[in-house]
């Protein structure tokens, strides 16, 4: 048994806001969380006398961080690593022998790695853990290459992880929609999630990625997908219906149309409205909340989009906050990546995936004195401050699209400290600053709200019952911070991080490596769909139906998350 | 027993429609495979073989012990090969290199290494082979000869394949071959452009200039008439979906990675007119996997050195041929490859001068000079695992027959454990 005693606990899911509590852990689970009771520490209660004690007096205790949207593994990320040696050269991590054994563990070693915006897998696991995060969702995998994603996940230690499966340009689904066969599409989605060991439905630029295979895109909700006669609106609403029907723990995770373009706030709001009350998550919404006229100067449209989010309780979002400095853009949005290549002149990777999706990668540099980037930065800040309910707005940088994940502590400081925010605002391009709404927003996030937007809220939106809180039965993923005035420093180097009840980080450094689990869903479906699928595979794919599903052997560490 | 949908691990095509018949743990028939694939299955050794140290048969613990000692005693060990083993084994080999502070390199460095360098300069507009099958109406094969080297490429994925937008197969596509001499592939092309050896860069640069509407003051470039080049540019701009497949004729001649970068720039620029993609014709069955696994574990796809405790990348410095030819490597672990047969003489000779360990199903030339020979099962035949197709689509390799031999992954695991105890 392990006890974390006398800590100042922030556990929003259980309504605990900075009260002093003792938390007891056994077999990787929280077994008791109660008001501090010093007398018991004398050793009268069974087991507790033999317990390991972490004295958290004066420290802040939160559940481990839960990232709802990050690109850490798989074909696109690895292509990004491979073609960016310039990203890695100055950002390396040496292999180490770990310190003295903790609780009898055999002395082990950590792996070396490299990479800044696109770190190698082991390094990614270590860096997230050292920042106090214990669960991370990989935001997009093409089904055809899911096997690759799972191989990388197994090489990403410590973290629990899930994979979102791209479905917004899938031929089988679009054919079902055209033929009015919603139920067949539903069974297919269930089969596909099981076959790819996926966690959620991901929709990226619905229809636009298919049209890119013809050198085109979509720009309105009712544009036609070439060769299928369906529309982005139909794709999104059908998948939202399927998500509800299957009772998936998460909701459809949507990257909407017109990402990065002036005036896209309008189509973003239209897509929110098109859902007609069905639950959905809109990701990296900063990139989709711009005003101004299409093709003209970029302005923030955060007010318009935040209003729509506030009015639609069925919607959650993550921000995708811009971090000034290097980034690597990588999405399944093929036409967007080509556009970024043309805008920046930077090298461009594209990968069209047969019958399913596409994608690309382009390096990026966000600059304070670039008016376009400055607008992107303040748009993100405004979304954070204008969306009222912290349970529906989450902290991400759409890593590594808007910046590396290890800048989350800087974003936390920006949200908690309005003087720091004003200082940053003063340093961005004057044209972006002029008339910016951000200057008038003096809201400051509390520690309680930060705990919501970084773990409690994300875990709830993901449907992870055992994560993001410290109640009895929760996974014992716990982060303990020193209480510092400088919130960036506070959140960058936790004093302790526990994963499944084991201390993995002390004073911001990894002390113990262990594997994490891959979380996936197995919704039920009518097995009769298999005959149709065999035909579809023969017509559509260059690999056989039998070689497509990812077998259980690829997930030696895993957990099935139940559907409703 | 008939086993269907078997993946052939021979080349980067990874055809997954092979039917293998097995009787009494022996492969008796192979259907759908090309000649190379069929011979791989039919000639696969599966009998038990003892490992050897200094030519003497030993048991496995003794062999692992000898190998671990060699690697531990070395100041600058080299791990090389990887392209004909499964990604599971590749991952272990990288872990071992990290632990030892070794240099690790794959056969990529002597085939498509320049492709990687070209991509690092220029990016890569690519697609999976199914997109080629279903969409491509213009196929250009540059410096490669699939009719002989990737024998089912035409029928499964490209020239002959019948796809959604190409229902009539060959009739719906224009096939262009660019090479320095006529080949079996050029004889099946609609257009053959014969480039003077070493002039691929010039021809690619000329195509880029013509695409930009520039006038060329010459009649021919690199042996190809400007009229023919102009005709090709028009075809490229006006096709629906074009693709250039390229091979060692581009990557291992003249400007090497500069040729590749020029080709990639041309393909990227064509996307201003239509959709255009490109793909290297990867040779060994899992050479793409070697690039991938090395990249996700270290950040770099080949030529990686761990001597400073973290991965460093430098082709020309940390590539196997160079490390050997300079006499830097003082021990070598060769996995599923035969560098003594393929490397330049100086590099190959070094392998017989230093203690070399070979992990391979075959007694190849390298095994004959090796101090330690570790005979393993064959991925895709007598061992299951994962391989990456030339378009990076991962496929499951089956174990179609039993083998008493351990897998590369198993042996590398033993070695890692042994090296750790030696270190401690
Ligand atoms: Zn994303």
Specify the CATH number for the domain of residue A78. 3.20.20
A464 assigned to some structural domain: yes
Signed CA dihedral, B133, B21, A545, B126: sign only: negative
Chain A residues within an 8 Å CB radius of B120:
82-85
Q: What are the phi and psi torsion angles at B282 (to 5°)?
A: -75, 140
Contact at CB, A540 and B130, closer than 8 angstroms: yes
CB-based contact (8 Å) between A555 and chain B?
Answer: no
Signed CA dihedral, B48, B354, B83, B341: sign only: negative
CB-based contact (8 Å) between A127 and chain B?
Answer: no
Mutate to test the interface with A, among B156, B313, B394 (most CBs of A within 10 A): B394
A223 assigned to some structural domain: yes
Q: Give which of B77, B79, B96, B80 is closest to B331, Cα–Cα.
A: B77
DSSP string, B325-376: HTT--SEEEEES--HHHHS-HHHHHHHHHS-EEEEESS--HHHHH-SEEEE-
Distance CA B349, CA B340 (A): 7
Judge whether residue B275 has pLDDT over 60: yes
Q: Give which of B208, B234, B237 is closest to B221, Cα–Cα.
A: B208
Distance CA A130, CA A59 (A): 17
Contact at CB, B91 and A145, closer than 8 angstroms: no
A267: which 2 tokens?
A: 């189509």
B78: which 2 tokens?
A: 């080299």
In sequence order, what are the residues at sequence separation of 6 or more whose Cβ sits closer than 8 angstroms to the Cβ of residue A485?
none
A544 assigned to some structural domain: no
Contact at CB, A151 and B297, closer than 8 angstroms: no
Distance CA B309, CA B300 (A): 15
C-alpha distances (whole Å) from A451 to each of A9, A380, A496, B399 are 10, 19, 16, 49
DSSP code, position A106: P
Contact at CB, A109 and B99, closer than 8 angstroms: yes
pLDDT at position A44 is 44
3-state SS, residue A387: coil
Q: How far is the CA of A69 from the centre of ligand 1 (A)?
A: 6
Tell me the pLDDT tens digit for each residue of A381-430: 999 999 999 999 999 999 999 999 999 999 999 999 999 999 999 999 99
C-alpha distances (whole Å) from B298 to each of A82, A155, B71, B105 are 10, 11, 20, 12
Interface of A with B in 335-394 (CB under 8 A): 338, 341, 346-355, 358, 361-362
Asked if B246 contacts B280 with a C-beta cutoff of 8 angstroms, the reply is yes
Q: Give which of A486, A508, A496, A498 is closest to A56, Cα–Cα.
A: A496
A488 assigned to some structural domain: no
CB-based contact (8 Å) between A263 and chain B?
Answer: no
Bridge-based pairing of strands B56-57 and B52-53 is: antiparallel
Contact at CB, B296 and A111, closer than 8 angstroms: no
Please state the domain count of chain A: 1
What is the number of alpha carbons within 13 Å of residue A377 lying toward its C-beta?
A: 28
Q: What are the phi and psi torsion angles at A161 (to 5°)?
A: -140, 155
Q: How far is the CA of A320 from the centre of ligand 1 (A)?
A: 8
A229 assigned to some structural domain: yes
Q: Which domain holds residue A340?
A: 64-469
Signed CA dihedral, A531, A534, A538, A539: sign only: positive
Distance CA B367, CA A358 (A): 43
Q: Where is B142: in which H helix or E strand?
A: strand B138-142
Provide the β-strand partners of residue A509: A506
Distance CA A526, CA A503 (A): 44
Q: How far is the CA of A401 from the centre of ligand 1 (A)?
A: 7
The minimum CA-CA distance between B274 and chain A, rounded to whole Å, is: 6
Chain A residues within an 8 Å CB radius of B87:
151
Chain B residues within an 8 Å CB radius of A115:
299
pLDDT at position A101 is 43
Interface of A with B in 129-188 (CB under 8 A): 144-145, 147-148, 151-152, 155
Q: Give which of A471, A467, A470 is closest to A458, Cα–Cα.
A: A467
What is the number of alpha carbons within 13 Å of residue A190 lying toward its C-beta?
A: 24
pLDDT at position A51 is 79
Taking the domains of chain B in order of start, what are their residue ranges?
48-111+285-423, 113-280
A440 assigned to some structural domain: yes
The minimum CA-CA distance between B92 and chain A, rounded to whole Å, is: 11
Strands (E), B180-215: 191-194
Contact at CB, B125 and A115, closer than 8 angstroms: no
Q: Which of A112, A351, A539 lies closest to B309 in CB terms?
A: A112
For the domain covering B113-280, report its CATH number: 3.40.228.10
Distance CA A155, CA A509 (A): 19
Mean pLDDT of chain B: 97
Distance CA B370, CA A110 (A): 31
DSSP string, A117-177: SS--HHHHHHHHHHTTEEEEEEEEE-GGGHHHHHHHHHTS-S-EEEEEEE-TT-HHHHHHH
Distance CA A223, CA B11 (A): 42
Distance CA A372, CA A305 (A): 19
Contact at CB, A539 and B91, closer than 8 angstroms: no
Chain A residues within an 8 Å CB radius of B6:
none
A187 assigned to some structural domain: yes
Mutate to test the interface with B, among A78, A82, A359, A534 (most CBs of B within 10 A): A82
The minimum CA-CA distance between A112 and chain B, rounded to whole Å, is: 5
In sequence order, what are the residues at sequence separation of 6 or more whose Cβ sits closer than 8 angstroms to the Cβ of residue A179?
none
Per residue of chain A (564 residues), what is the pLDDT tens digit?
Answer: 999 999 999 999 999 999 999 999 999 999 998 876 544 544 445 555 567 999 999 999 999 999 999 999 999 999 999 999 999 999 999 998 755 444 443 345 899 999 999 999 999 999 999 999 999 999 999 999 999 999 999 999 999 999 999 999 999 999 999 999 999 999 999 999 999 999 999 999 999 999 999 999 999 999 999 999 999 999 999 999 999 999 999 999 999 999 999 999 999 999 999 999 999 999 999 999 999 998 899 999 999 999 999 999 999 999 999 999 999 999 999 999 999 999 999 999 999 999 999 999 999 999 999 999 999 999 999 999 999 999 999 999 999 999 999 999 999 999 999 999 999 999 999 999 999 999 999 999 999 999 999 999 999 999 999 999 999 999 999 999 999 999 999 999 999 999 999 999 999 999 999 999 999 999 999 999 999 999 999 999 999 999 999 999 999 999 999 999
Distance CA B205, CA A432 (A): 41
A521 assigned to some structural domain: no
CB-based contact (8 Å) between A552 and chain B?
Answer: no
Chain A residues within an 8 Å CB radius of B298:
112-114, 120
pLDDT at position B258 is 97
Q: Which of B122, B291, B393 lies closest to A543 in CB terms?
A: B393
Tell me the pLDDT tens digit for each residue of B414-424: 999 999 887 66
Distance CA A17, CA A124 (A): 31
Q: What is the pTM of this model?
A: 0.97
Distance CA B165, CA A210 (A): 14
Chain B residues within an 8 Å CB radius of A82:
116, 119-120, 291-292, 295, 300-301
ipTM exceeds 0.95, yes or no: yes
3-state SS, residue A352: strand
Q: Give which of B13, B20, B96 is closest to B382, Cα–Cα.
A: B20
pLDDT at position A106 is 39
Distance CA B383, CA A12 (A): 50
For the domain covering B48-111+285-423, report its CATH number: 3.40.50.740
C-alpha distances (whole Å) from A373 to each of A80, A210, A304, A330, A564 are 21, 28, 20, 17, 42
Tell me the pLDDT tens digit for each residue of B32-51: 999 999 999 999 877 889 99
Distance CA B419, CA B253 (A): 41
Q: How many CB atoms lie within 10 A of CB B197?
A: 14
Provide the β-strand partners of residue B245: B141, B279
Q: How far is the CA of A508 from the centre of ligand 1 (A)?
A: 27
Distance CA A196, CA B7 (A): 19
pLDDT at position B25 is 87
């Amino acid at each position: 048994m392990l006890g974390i005693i006398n800590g100042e606990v922030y556990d929003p899911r259980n309504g605990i806001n900075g009260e002093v509590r003792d938390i007891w852990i056994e077999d990787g689970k929280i077994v008791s969380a109660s008001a501090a009771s010093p007398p018991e520490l004398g050793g009268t209660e069974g087991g507790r006398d033999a317990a390991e004690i972490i004295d958290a007096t004066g420290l802040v205790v939160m559940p481990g961080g839960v990232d709802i949207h990050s690109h850490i593994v798989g074909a696109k990320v690895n292509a990004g690593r491979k073609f960016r040696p310039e990203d890695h050269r100055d950002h390396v991590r040496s292999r180490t022998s770990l310190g003295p054994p903790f609780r009898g563990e055999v002395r082990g070693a950590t792996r070396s790695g490299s990479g800044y915006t696109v770190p190698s897998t082991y390094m990614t696991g270590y860096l997230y853990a050292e920042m106090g995060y214990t669960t991370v969702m990989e935001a997009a995998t093409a089904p055809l290459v899911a096997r690759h994603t799972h191989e990388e996940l197994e090489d990403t230690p410590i973290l629990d992880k899930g994979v979102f499966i791209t479905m917004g340009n899938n031929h089988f689904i679009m054919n079902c929609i055209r033929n009015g066969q919603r139920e067949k599409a539903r069974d297919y989605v269930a089969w596909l999630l099981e076959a790819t060991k996926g966690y959620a439905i991901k929709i990226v630029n619905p229809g636009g990625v298919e049209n890119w295979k013809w050198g085109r895109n979509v720009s309105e909700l009712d544009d036609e997908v070439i060769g299928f006669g369906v529309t982005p609106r139909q794709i999104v609403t059908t998948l939202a219906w399927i998500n509800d029907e299957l009772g998936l723990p998460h909701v459809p995770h949507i990257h909407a149309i017109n990402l990065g373009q002036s005036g896209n706030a309008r189509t973003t709001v239209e897509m929110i409205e098109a859902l007609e009350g069905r639950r959905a998550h809109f990701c990296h919404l900063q990139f989709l909340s711009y005003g101004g006229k299409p093709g003209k100067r970029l302005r923030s449209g955060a007010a318009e989009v935040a209003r729509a989010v506030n009015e639609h309780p069925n919607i959650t979002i993550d921000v995708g906050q811009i971090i000034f400095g290097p980034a690597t853009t990588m999405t399944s949005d093929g036409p967007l990546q080509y556009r970024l290549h043309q805008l920046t002149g930077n090298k461009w990777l594209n990968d069209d995936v047969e019958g399913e999706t596409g994608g690309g990668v382009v390096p990026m540099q966000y600059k304070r004195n670039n008016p376009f980037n400055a607008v992107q930065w303040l748009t993100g800040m405004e979304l954070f401050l204008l969306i009222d309910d912290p349970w529906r707005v989450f902290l991400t940088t759409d890593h590594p699209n808007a910046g590396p994940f290890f800048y989350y502590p800087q974003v936390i400081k920006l949200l908690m400290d309005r003087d720091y925010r004003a200082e940053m605002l003063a340093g961005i391009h004057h044209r972006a600053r002029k008339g910016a709404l951000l200057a008038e927003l003096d809201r400051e996030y509390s520690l309680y709200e930060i705990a919501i937007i970084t773990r409690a809220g994300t875990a709830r939106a993901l449907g992870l019952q055992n994560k993001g809180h410290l109640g009895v039965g929760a996974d014992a993923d716990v982060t303990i911070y020193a209480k510092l005035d400088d919130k960036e420093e506070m959140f960058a180097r936790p004093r302790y991080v526990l994963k499944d009840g084991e201390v993995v980080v002390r004073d911001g450094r990894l002390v113990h490596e262990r594997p994490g689990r891959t979380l996936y869903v197995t919704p039920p479906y009518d097995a009769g769909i298999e005959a149709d699928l065999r035909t579809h595979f023969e017509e559509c794919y260059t690999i056989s139906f039998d070689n497509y599903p990812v077998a259980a052997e690829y997930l030696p560490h895993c957990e099935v998350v139940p559907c409703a | 027993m008939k086993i269907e949908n078997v993946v052939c691990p021979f080349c980067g095509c990874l055809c997954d429609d092979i039917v293998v018949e097995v009787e009494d743990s022996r492969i008796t028939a192979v259907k759908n495979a090309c000649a190379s694939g069929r011979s791989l299955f039919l000639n696969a050794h599966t009998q038990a073989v003892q490992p050897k140290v200094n030519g003497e048969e030993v048991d496995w613990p003794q062999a692992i012990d000898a190998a671990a000692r060699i690697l531990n005693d070395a100041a600058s060990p080299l791990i090389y090969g990887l392209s004909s083993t499964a990604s599971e084994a590749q991952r272990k080999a990288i872990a071992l290199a990290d632990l030892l502070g070794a240099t690790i390199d794959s056969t990529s460095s002597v085939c498509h290494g320049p492709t990687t360098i070209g991509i690092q300069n220029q990016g890569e507009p690519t697609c999976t082979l199914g997109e080629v099958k279903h969409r491509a109406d213009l196929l250009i094969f540059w410096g490669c000869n699939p009719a002989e080297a990737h024998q089912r490429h035409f029928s499964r994925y490209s020239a002959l394949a019948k796809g959604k937008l190409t229902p009539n197969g060959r009739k719906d596509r224009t096939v262009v071959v660019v090479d320095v001499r006529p080949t079996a592939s050029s004889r099946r092309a609609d257009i053959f452009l014969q480039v003077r050896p070493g002039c691929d860069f010039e021809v690619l640069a000329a195509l880029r200039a013509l695409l930009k509407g520039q006038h060329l003051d010459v009649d021919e470039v690199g042996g190809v008439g400007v009229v023919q080049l102009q005709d090709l540019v028009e075809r490229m701009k006006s096709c629906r979906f074009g693709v250039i497949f390229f091979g060692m004729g581009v990557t291992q001649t003249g400007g090497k990675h500069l040729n590749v970068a020029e080709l990639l720039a041309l393909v990227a620029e064509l996307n201003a007119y239509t959709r255009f993609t490109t793909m290297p014709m990867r040779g060994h069955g899992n050479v793409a996997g070697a690039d991938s696994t090395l990249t996700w574990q270290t950040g770099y796809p080949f030529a990686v050195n761990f001597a400073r405790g973290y991965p460093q990348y430098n082709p020309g410095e940390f590539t196997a041929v160079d490390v050997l030819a300079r006499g830097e490597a003082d021990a070598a672990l060769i996995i599923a490859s035969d560098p003594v047969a393929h490397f330049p003489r100086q590099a190959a000779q070094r392998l017989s001068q230093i203690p070399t360990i070979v992990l391979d199903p075959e007694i190849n030339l390298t095994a004959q000079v090796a101090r330690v020979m570790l005979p393993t099962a064959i991925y895709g035949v007598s061992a299951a695992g994962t391989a990456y197709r030339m378009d990076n689509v991962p496929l499951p390799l089956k174990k179609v027959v039993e083998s008493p031999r351990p897998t590369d992954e198993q042996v590398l695991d033993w070695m890692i454990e042994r090296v750790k105890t030696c270190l401690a």
